[in-house]
Structure 1
Amino acid sequence: MEVSPLSVLLLLIVLFQCGQTEEIPKPILRVDPNTTVYTGDTLTLTCDLQISLTGWRFRWYKDSQQLNPLTEYKDTNTLSITASDTETAEYLCIARRGHGGVDYDSHYSAPVKITVEIPKPTLRVDPHTTVYTGDTLTLTCDLQSSVTGWRFRWYKDSQQLNPLTEYKDTNTLSITVSDTGTAEYLCIARRGHGGVDYDSHYSAPVKITVAGKPKPELRSSLKGATLRGSSVTLECVLDQSAGWRFYWTKHTQNPQNEFSTETHSHTISSVSVSDGGQYWCKAGRGDPVNYTPYSDALWVNVTDLDSRGPGSSSLAAGVAVGSSLIILLIILSLVWCCKKNKGGGSLWLTSRNKQNTSQRQNLAGPEDTVSASTPLQSDAPAESSDVTYVAINLKSKKKPKKKQDLGYMPEEKTTADTDQKTIYSELKLNTD
């Protein structure tokens, strides 16, 4: 059986079409930068057809709806879109190639889910959320978005902070706080694209507490006077010392005479007389520097003698011992005088308020009798009742003559009785 050339040609065409059907390519859809994006973000959809043949054209679909309806197919395999609606949608693509007046389509790519969200910035406060009046703060509206062109706005207690401008091109805002109290701050971002504005969510509110400037307390490591040559440390004490620089001045509160330290202490290793005087301290932080008030003045007294040493105690002890010796010498002198004048006697002390009037009446002779109602003359003030007298009984050493034993006792007084005299002497005791 003969085979005509026409039959052979038709057979070759059928075989060729069958081979093409078995090798239909399937593209891969890639999304850049991420499959989860924010409103206003720009996405790039790439329909990657891994085949060496050229002349392919491409088309994309979102939820089975063609993305670029104005053109049947796009000559390049990339498509840029702006995410505008907050949603999750499925995207896919297909490729087509014409040859010999016949269009050959690829398979559809596997669908890719893209989620579009509204971004929410984070408000950061530098350096602290607890500050003092006069401090400068930096508010940063941090938006995690891959695209640029965002503008920002800040609010304090629902009131716009920068009313003169709708939005600020940069995401930082510097403010100087002046009013004490606690306030809530937040921010928002906006981006325009294709004549449409896309707003972010508001950030979470951040509380900032402003307190009055603290007044430091100046302390010294030594109490009282400072010995020349010794070491003394001055401390400028604040409740929160982190982040502060400390400034010191002497004699006057003059910034031109100040010197500063990184820490809150200043040590004078060897004190000299010129180091004495009044000292003040204050603290400062930030740029520009926000200063606290000066502390109260602290006196540093420099001396060569330690008034707190044992000298003062020795002096007090010496005074006490000297007073006791003086009293003892007075008593011994009185005793010696009595012995010298009368040859003997007895000595005792009696109080002026408790004088025994009977002792005064034992004086021999009416001319020596002291009346009990007559006060003794004294140089002491009349109002003092703590005067002590020394009463001295003088007795003669002559022994009385022995009488003959007549069997009775004569009524006359013996010489020993008549020779006894009592002398009072006023003794002043220094009890100071």
Structure 2
Amino acid sequence: MKMLQLVTILLTLSGVFSDWGVKYPDNPICAVRGFSVPIPCSYYYPTSNPNIQVTQMLWCSMNSNTDKCQNPPYVYNSASITTSDFEYAGDNKSNCTLLIHNVQFSYSGVYKFRFITDNPSGKWTGEPGATLQVADLKVSLIRLSGIGTLKQGDSLNLTCDVNCTQSSSQFVWSKNNERLNTSGRVLHFPAVTVRDSGNYTCTWKTNRASGSETISLHIEGGWGVNYTTPICAVRGFSVSIPCSYSYPQHNYQVTQKLWCSMNSNTGGCENPPYVYNSSSITTSDFEYAGDDKSDCTLLIHNVQFSYSGEYRFRFITNVSGDMWTGEPGQILQVSDLKVSLIRLSGNGTLKQGDSLNLTCDVKCTQSSSQFVWSKNNERLNTSGRVLHFPAVTVRDSGNYTCTWKTNMTSGSETISLLVEGENPDHQPNWIIAVVTSGVIFIILVLLGAAICNRRRKPDAPEDNSRNAGEQTQVKQLPLPNEEVPQQGDVTYASVCIKDNNLNNGRVHTEQKKEDISVIYSTVTIK
């Protein structure tokens, strides 16, 4: 009978718990660094009870959360109004999809969803979670024939690689932003020509994510200008725009170099205005860092939002009518670098034990970039756009700087962190007061003892010129052979005996008389 009751209870509990759950994708999700990816998710709970309402939705990363998502930190918390790369794309009914922007390598790992209802016992964390893999998308040039710089007739392949497995994926190729009629991870060139020069982009797509990478191809043998992939720069800092150009070397010399911004130049760069003109001596934020042979690099200082756009290089030779403008041009994106403080626990002023993240954001994509953190100008042993503090202390107070670096540019931003509490490196004020008072008391005691000791010593003799050890003893003696004075007459007599060998005020009578000097003095008052 007891066994039957136990089985009944277990079956009942099984039925109850089967009404709660979270569903994730069966396979790991692959994402390309710098791009966005959704993590599909659905959840359910007893709908037979219409009074149950979901009040809070949470997502946690098991990289930082060691408490099975039951406590902070969370990458998403519906009760918080902070913004980050982790965006909730679900609802409070059944959809718990998480959308992650600007994916970084540090985001790889397991993510779990947890929801809380208005029922005190109605809480659930989905196990085992969704696995996210982050990889770089890399486009490589593989030479099949020829050496050195690419020349007409050389054979090569462009290959597109992602270092994580995703079965339902495809590769799409484009040249100068125009899609090519080819597919697959390899783009083959049996014999290149000058016309093959340009920017080739490989786009990798899945049902959930996508990413792209660009490589430049420059074939010698004619006229041309070669740019790089779109460049991202931080406002207020400097950025270089790499550029190379070519022309028939025989009997040609470059006489003028020009850079134009398509924001202000509507004539295809054939006429002014120019942001740089080698024939002009004016100075500006646009500096030419190239030469008159093949390098046309442009260096832009103090970048501003208005500098975003397309830039083209144009060069003119000594042969009349022989000039060239590189199209479609170089794209520059300008963004602010923003360091934000995201509270994971605690409110109000920061206190010891609070949990938080410092995040570094750049609103443009640059695949080959890195984030470097420093505190009070000393580099920290951490990387990635997020600096996590599971439980801050007073020692964590300071100025934190995030530096964003690429091959072409860099930028930095600083945020101050002040954590309230008692600094263990400094003694409390009451200890300092007690120690100070004790020192002052000891000094006063020693000073008082010295004064008392000085007052107890006999006065020093007035004449020490003859002998440093000379001492004087004064004795009062009666005058010899002198009548006793009458009443009313007062006579005082004194004898001063000077002896160099007196000890403690006692006369050594065994000394010879000639060694003793006697001075008699008499004062009579009538």
TM-score of the aligned structures, taking structure 1 as reference length: 0.32
Higher-Rg structure is 1
- Between Structure 1 and Structure 2, the one with more helix by share is 1
